Structures are given as C-alpha cells and as structure tokens.
Chain A
Amino acid sequence: MTIYSTFKTDPARLRRRLLALLLDWMSWGYVAYGVMYFLNDYWWRIPLERFYTTLTLPPWGWPAAVLGTLAMAILCELTGYSLGERALKLEVKEERPLTKEEFLMGRAAGKPFWRTQWGVMAVLLLALTVALGWHIVKIDLEALFRPSRRAREMLGEIFPPDFRYFLVPDPAFELRGVPYSILNLMVITVFMALLATVLGAAVALPLSFFGARNIMGFSPVGWLVYGVVRGFFNVFRSIETMLWAVVFAIWIRWGSPLAGIMALTIHTIAALGKLYSEQVEGIDPGPVEAVVAAGGSRLEVIRYAVLPQVVPSFWAFTLYRWDINVRMSTVIALVGGGGIGDMLFYYKNEGEWALLGAVVATIVAVVWAMDYLSGRLRERIV
C-alpha cells in the first residue's frame, strides 16, 4: 500500500514516514501504559487468595508489550491516515476521484475528523489521558463536599474582620524593625510590585533588542548574542518568582522586602524580555528598510523604525506584568520575600481568623483597584 510505494521514491519522505511510525508506536505505548495502570488500579482491590496483591508482568510481558504496540502502530500506518501521519502532515491521497455529489457536499475537504482513523485515535487518547489523570491524582470529590467543622469555625470568625491593626502596628511583630500595620505593609507591598515592574522593564527593554532575530542579523556574533540573551530569558523565566524569592530570602534576609523585589525583578526581566523581543521580531520590516536606505545606523533603525511600532504593545505588556507583580507580591512572603504576606501567613498559622480577614479584605481591595487602574491605563494607551 502507500508505505511501500514511497519506499523507493523519496528518502526525505521515508524519514518522515518512519517518524510518523515512531509517533504512532509511542501513542500505542501510552495506551498500553494506561491499560496496565488501570489493571493495576483495580487488581489490588480484588481479594486474591485472601490477600491483596499487585499485578506484575510475566517475563514475556515487556517484549510482548513492545512488539504488540509496534504491531498496532504498523497496522495504523498500513490502513492509512494514522495520528502520526496526520501530525507530520503526511497526506494520504484518496484513491478514488470524488463524485459530483461528494464534492458538492464538501467531502473534498476530507471526512470529518471523528470519522477518520486518526480522529478516533486522538479522541481515545484524550479520554484515556483524562481518565488516567483522574486516577493518578486520586481525585476524591466527596472530600470537597464533606462538612468540615474547622472550615465552618474559620469562616465564622473571619466575619466580621477585625481591623484593629489597620493603622496601629501589631505588637506581635515588634522585632521586625518596621511597624507592622496593615496599611504600612500594604504600601510596602504595592511599592515592591511597582519597583520590580519599573526596574524589570527598564532592564528588559534594551535586552529585548539583543534577543530579536531581525535586529541581531545573521553574523556569527549576532547568533551568539541572540542565543545567550534568549537562553537567559528562557532559563530565568522558567524558574518561578517564588523560587527566586527563596534564593534571595536566604541571600539577603528572611522577610526583607528587598528579597521580594529582587525575585520579582529577575522574573519580570526574563518574562517581559521574551514578550518584548517577540514583539520586536513581529514588526513590519518596511520602515526598517526605509531607514537603512536613508543611511541610518542600527541605533537609528531601532529609534525610528522599531520603537514606534512596538511601544504600544510594550506598554500593554508592562501593565499586564504590573498586575501579576501586585498579586505575586502579596504572597511572596510565604517564602520570605516580605510585604503584606508576612502578616497574612503569621495570622493564618496563629489561627487569628478575624485579623486574617482584615488582611485578606485589604489585599482584595488593593488588587482590585490596581487591576482596574492598569486596565484603564491600557485602554488609554493601546
């Protein structure tokens, strides 16, 4: 069938075909894993000779699984239009020309996906994944609705919240050096977010041009700088703000706002840098060409052809980041980053639900206000 006819013709196509087969093999392997997992999950619930046991593979089990899945994959390939072929866009042409009626009814666009083999397979894999996930994390919906005495107590005490320490510092935090009133800490928190956003954006802005393919050109040095900057963005972005806060809390001091600012700033640089440089890469190249043709230098290209195009989206991204930073700064104290979260988690640990309620209410009000503010700003700018 199709697979044999392409063997002789085109080595590149053959390679893709083998890759498609590999993908099919892998997805069948995944199915086999799912089946084994379910078998195991149910097996131990069945009393076998009066004690529970787990299912183990017989010695021939592994080769059987490997070969069985391979056989299934090859079968998929041979009958045409497998998931792997579809993923690699290896079209298998229909042998028979369409009738007029079929063409009229839109059959030329192919069968609807749920009637093709790859479509069935895709739906099956999706269903398997959901079912498997459900079992693996052992979702217990009952627990969600089980009456909890502790929760009821907590909710009862949160209302009404106790705003005793809104302006007056709580003496429990006497040793911290800063007066710990809700208002004071909230101000610190908002400024943490603000400083982190401004600092982060200020560093990310120039860096982003070094991480943009169309600015760096295709010289070896250009590639190197691009690679380093992009690598920096990707690595530092994949380390979450909370993890950075752990690092800086140890480095600077537990509970110091500076640690929080540093953590937020580092992550902001990397996240904004990536977003910025993608914007720079997406500009219309026309004005760049025009400025170069007029004898402009690289900096002039950035100033006159690139910046005017990206400034609105830069603002939008920065404000969006400011939203994230405000929310993040309220909880960063969990890992020693300072700010209002310091009070939040202290009261939570002490079971001071009424005081906690006041802190939460303030956070909600401030976060909502900041969201609203940045939303309005974004509307005005973009």
Chain B
Amino acid sequence: MAEPYLVVEHLTKVYERGHVVALKDVSFEVQKGEFLVIIGLSGSGKSTLLRCINRLIEPTKGRIFIDGVEITRLSPRQMRRFRRKIGMIFQHFNLIKRATVMTNVLTGRLGYNPTWKTLLGLFPRSDRELALRNLERVGLLEKAYVRADELSGGQQQRVGIARALMQQPELLLADEPVSALDPATSHSVMQYIEQMNREDGVTVLASLHFLSLARRYGTRIIALKDGELVFDGAPEEIDDRKFKEIYGEEAEEVEIR
C-alpha cells in the first residue's frame, strides 16, 4: 500500500478545566481519496478529533502527519499556510450571516491572498471567477449577492461547501455537516461532498450521526466512544453487536433515507 495521506498517532486531548479527557490515545491512518466517516454518540470526541487535525484545537499529546508533514510541529504561521489545503464545513455552517454569499465564499480564499489586500476587500479577478464557478457547482449562482441569513439551512450548508471548495483542498473535514438539516436536504448536501471526494479526489473525514448515512457514503468507518477508538473497518462490518457496542445497549438503529 502507498504511503498513507493522513496519519494520527496516539492522539490525546485533555481539556484544562475539569480535566475532561476528550480523546484517549487515538491512532489511525487514512489513504488518499478515502471517504472516512467518524461515528459515535454526542460528546464522544468526534468534533475534537476533527479540530485537532487542522489544529483549531491544540492536541495535548500525539502526532499528526498530513502528506508526510508533521503538522503538530508547525509554527502558527506555517500552520496557517498549511490550512489552505484543509477545507472544513461545520454543523451550524458558520457563515457570516450579515455578509453576502459571495463574501462568504471568498473567505475560503483568505489563506491565498495577502492580508493587506483582503482587509480592503480586494480579491483577484480569478478568485471571484472561481467563486462564481463554485457557486454554480452547488446550484446557488443566482444567490451570489443575497445575504447569507436569507438562505435556507440546506442552501447555507451548500455555501459552506462552496467556501471549502475555494481552498482547492486536498482534505475536507466535515463536522456533522447534515445534523442540522432535514433528511432530503441531508442527502443533497452529502452528495455534493461525495462529488468532491470522487471527482476532485479530495480525502474526506466526516462525522455523522446516522449510521445509514455513514454506510451509504463512507468507504470506511471509525467509531469513537468516550474518546477511545472502538471500531475501524468497512461499513459492512458494523453488525448489531458492534452497533450496540458503539452506541450502548439501549440504542436502536434509525434509518434515514
């Protein structure tokens, strides 16, 4: 097998106040082009894990390699440059609500432009063209100059995807991208992410609540429970016993179609 794209080694995160251990010695590898789904209960450490990978949260212990670079050793400045390659989308979209869709999408380009220019709101013509192309791709071209808070939830998440696309990422971190959306919209959003994975060859790490979604879109699944890695394997391998192990005895699988 080729050199893995992402390597996480003995990752531990302890929150300083109250000594809450969010991640306990988590290790796994991801190949380039994989669609890795992270499942687990709320509070099992999914968000923390994703945020450690682009160091929005500083890991307490352990090492993370992306494409052979040990990102846990990068200086804040180097990390900022490295983040260009890592797109992220969020559960609550994290758009600038009072700004236009166009401005929101262009923020995905901040890492590529000098600060003095972006502070004045100056983006190169090529960036603006790319923004329109990406908006067209997620089907929101006609909404380009509408304020972000006027869009529906599904549309807002598609803006989030367009913003991530602007970074021309190699890796996409999706933190519960559809848990604030209804089932039909969820699939449309997931399909855009799948398209990124298949057509642009972006490696995807997505945390999902519904196992059915995980089975449908993931090429591989890892499961966290109380900050520990309890499963790592193909979607088909999760049977009833495994499911109860991950989600607890009382859990009942819910389908989302």
Q: Which residues of A contact B (CB under 8 A)?
A: 286-287, 289-297, 299-300, 303-305, 308-309, 311-312
Which of A294, A304, A305, A312 lies in contact with B167, CB distance below 8 A? A294
Question: Can you name 10 A-B pairs with beta carbons within 8 Å?
Answer: A289-B56, A290-B160, A292-B56, A293-B173, A295-B84, A296-B80, A299-B115, A303-B118, A303-B119, A304-B103
A289 touches B90 (CB 8 A): yes
Distance (whole angstroms) from the CB of A381 to the closest CB of chain B: 12
Q: How far is the CB of A354 from chain B (nearest CB, A)?
A: 53
* Interfacial chain A residues near B83, Cβ < 8 Å: 292-295
Q: Is the CB of A294 within 8 A of B115?
A: no
Report the minimal beta-carbon distance from B55 to chain A, rounded to whole angstroms.
9
> Complex: how many Å from CA A379 to CA B109?
35
How many of chain B's residues have a CB under 8 angstroms from any CB in A?
A: 34
Contacts of B112 in A (CB 8 A): 295
| CA of A299 to CA of B119, assembled, Å | 8
CA distance A34 to B81 in the complex (A): 67
Chain A residues, CB < 8 A from B54? 293
What 18 new A-B contacts, CB under 8 Å, besides A294-B163, A294-B167, A312-B98? A287-B96, A290-B88, A291-B110, A293-B54, A293-B86, A294-B108, A295-B81, A295-B110, A295-B111, A295-B112, A295-B167, A297-B80, A300-B110, A300-B119, A304-B96, A304-B118, A305-B96, A308-B99
- Nearest residue (CB) in B for A292 is B56
Bound CA–CA A52/B216 (angstroms): 96
B90 to A286, Cβ gap below 8 A?
yes
Give the shortest distance, in Å, between A140 (CB) and chain B (any CB): 55
**B88–A309 contact, CB under 8 A?**
no
Is B107 in the interface zone, CB < 8 Å from A?
yes
Given contacts A286-B90, A290-B95, contact A296 B107 (CB under 8 A): yes
Which chain B residues have a beta carbon within 8 Å of chain A's beta carbons? 54, 56, 80-84, 86-88, 90, 92-99, 103, 107-112, 115, 118-119, 160, 163, 166-167, 173
- Asked if B95 and A287 sit within 8 Å, CB to CB, the answer is yes
Which one of A295, A300, A303 has the highest number of Cβ atoms from chain B below 10 Å of its Cβ? A295
* A217 and B159 alpha carbons, distance in the complex (Å): 29
- Set of chain B residues within 8 Å of A311, measured between Cβ atoms: 98
CB distance from A300 to the nearest CB of B (A): 5
Task: Flag if A290 contacts B80 (CB, 8 Å).
Answer: no
Whether the Cβ atoms of B119 and A293 lie closer than 8 Å is no
Residue from A287, A289, A297, A312 in contact with B115 in the complex, judged by beta carbons closer than 8 Å: A297
Cβ contacts under 8 Å, B56 to chain A = 289, 292-293
Residue of A nearest to B110 (CB): A296
Q: Provide the residues of chain B in CB contact with A300, threshold 8 Å.
A: 110, 115, 118-119
Top 10 closest A-B pairs, CB basis? A295-B111, A286-B94, A290-B94, A295-B83, A296-B110, A293-B88, A295-B84, A308-B98, A287-B96, A308-B96
The complex places the Cα of A287 from the Cα of B167 at a distance, in Å, of: 16
Contact indicator B111/A290 (Cβ below 8 Å): no
